[in-house]
A and B are shown apart, each in its own frame.
Chain A
Amino acid sequence: MITGIIMTEYGFLYTALAGSTIVALVGAMIGYFLVLRNQTFAGHALSHIGFAGATGAVLVGLSPFWGLIAFSGIAGVLMGALGEKLAGRDIAIGMILSLSLGLGLLFLHFYTAFATQLTALLFGNVLGIDPAMLMPLALIATFTLAALALLSRPLIFASLQPELAEARGVSLRGISMLFLGLSGLAIALCAQIVGMLLVFTLLIGPAAAAQRLTIRIVPGLVLSVIFALAMCWGGIGLAVLTDWPTSFCITALSALIYGFSLFKN
């Protein structure tokens, strides 16, 4: 009976740890390539576009998670297709992301009952993850990582030496569409842990720190994953101990790790 109580009491913790482990793996890997390709702002924008998708889905009676996945994934593919036309267009991307947040707000306005979940959507609530969500998270994560593994070799070539890759027969636009599409999926996963507004912390923080600490790709990816896991597990631990919001603890650890990486060299 005591075990039963413990299981119920700590069940949410198990779900939170399992969910964040799945997400950290994907976020750290995709994030590494976003940093390598100077596309971190595009990643940030995709999460905001996802917000409009999540709230829009609720409005038409669908699950916000699938709305988020669909919107950020499709927006990623479109962003990749626009490619060079969007490169350096921070203002255009900024306008689109503000518009998306605005649209999300409008959808919420029409569906007031959902407002209670708004904070979770924007800032995450990893301790409140439904255990039934673990399976879809794991499936999408597996798909994303498998696709990234297949794509990684030409992706690295196209990111480091675009003109030569093009001359060797790599489609730069095709690679960009596939990669940003996968980024959209990774962002939707990350939003489950830290929420849309804080996706940057999980996606970019570990990868950016890793790239400051090693100039090799495979060790960089490994380090990025280690940092992301440390942030998530540490953040959840801290939150349980202090009763502060988990997302705050994760952002604090992310900033700390990135801060330390700046002192190297």
Chain B
Amino acid sequence: MSEISAISIKNLSLNLGGAPILDNISLEIASGEFIGVLGTNGAGKTTLFRAILGLIPPASGEIRVLGAPVTRGNADIGYLPQARNLNPQLRLSAREFLKSAWRGQHWGLPLYGREAEAAIERILGLSQAQELANRPISELSGGERQRLLIAQSLLGNPKILLLDEPLISLDPARQQATIHLVRQIGLEMKLTILFSAHELNPLLGSLDRVLYLGRGQAALGAVAEVITAPVLSKLYGTDIEVITVNNRIFVMASGAELGLEAHLHEHDHDHGHHHD
């Protein structure tokens, strides 16, 4: 280990509203890795991201980002929150949306200079979103909105990207396009990427390692090491079968596919979830 880990987690426990989410996990993510973060709804993917961003203090243990302790507002981390929280009625241009994040935490007037314009042109180019810049957010499709959020996560030249469910509500073709785009940007900018998803299969060809969360535990490793019956049975707390068909992997519990079940479950949750 000559290089410092991009993210180093030691004996980390996280609670949310008193409930334990992650229990004593340890892992090291090397610089430049593309990590698929998997697990059912509530397994702690978003919570882990928010802890890395410094928004949730660890109950115990430690997280280090690029060798330094976690700090809120760390400019080295780019973050893509879940797209469903983006106000779909927003009658503002995509460019205004991106600009608002340019040193948006500072007090004062919303005057963004040439430096901001240049930075925004650059991230629009990187995420192939130039043609979206002058369109209102309310008129963008799901895939276009996702590209805009990817562009946003690149603002400020981060070294690490935390992408929270960028594939949600996209059709398979758009999912592949999104993964391909993220992979390409990651290589170009030498980024470490944590990419959370409900389903493993779309990511199979792109990820370096997989981080699987379940029942407070975490397993990090190559797909062949982690997506196995013994490891997943432990994470789910039930007997799991792993079946590979035509290079696609199906995770089954009592004969039903788990990935799909998690997805349906997720939609149920959406009904009660309103964000203003």
Measured CB to CB, the closest approach of chain B to A126, in angstroms, equals 30
- A154 interface neighbour in B89, B105, B274, Cβ under 8 Å: B105
Q: How many angstroms between the C-alpha atoms of A166 and B91 in the bound complex?
A: 22
Please report whether the interface of chain B is mostly helix, strand, loop or mixed according to DSSP.
loop
Residues 186-222 (chain B) with a chain A CB within 8 angstroms: none
- Mark A162-201 against chain B: 1 for CB-CB distance below 8 A, else 0: 1111111110000000000000000000000000000000
Measured CB to CB, the closest approach of chain A to B240, in angstroms, equals 32
Residues 140-164 (chain A) with a chain B CB within 8 angstroms: 149-154, 156-164
Are A167 and B104 in touch, CB under 8 angstroms? no
Please report whether the interface of chain A is mostly helix, strand, loop or mixed according to DSSP.
helix
Contacts of B134 in A (CB 8 A): 215
Interface residue range, chain B: 35 or more
Are B85 and A162 in touch, CB under 8 angstroms? yes
Are B276 and A154 in touch, CB under 8 angstroms? no
Q: Take A166-B55, A168-B73 as given contacts and tell me if A154 and B104 are in contact as well, using a CB distance cutoff of 8 Å.
A: yes
Are A170 and B104 in touch, CB under 8 angstroms? yes
Q: Take A164-B101, A166-B55, A169-B105 as given contacts and tell me if A215 and B91 are in contact as well, using a CB distance cutoff of 8 Å.
A: yes
Count A-B contacts at CB 8 Å: 99
Contacts of A7 in B (CB 8 A): none
- B73 interface neighbour in A157, A161, A162, A167, Cβ under 8 Å: A167
Q: How many chain A residues touch the partner (CB < 8 A)?
A: 33
Are B96 and A216 in touch, CB under 8 angstroms? yes
Are A156 and B274 in touch, CB under 8 angstroms? no
Closest partner residue, chain A, to B135 (CB atom)? A215
Are B107 and A151 in touch, CB under 8 angstroms? yes
Q: Could you list which residues of chain A lie within 8 angstroms of chain B, going by C-beta atoms?
A: 36-39, 87-88, 149-154, 156-170, 211-212, 215-218
What are 14 A-to-B residue pairs whose CB atoms are below 8 Å? A38-B87, A87-B276, A149-B108, A152-B109, A152-B110, A153-B104, A154-B107, A158-B104, A160-B90, A160-B92, A167-B55, A167-B73, A167-B79, A217-B110
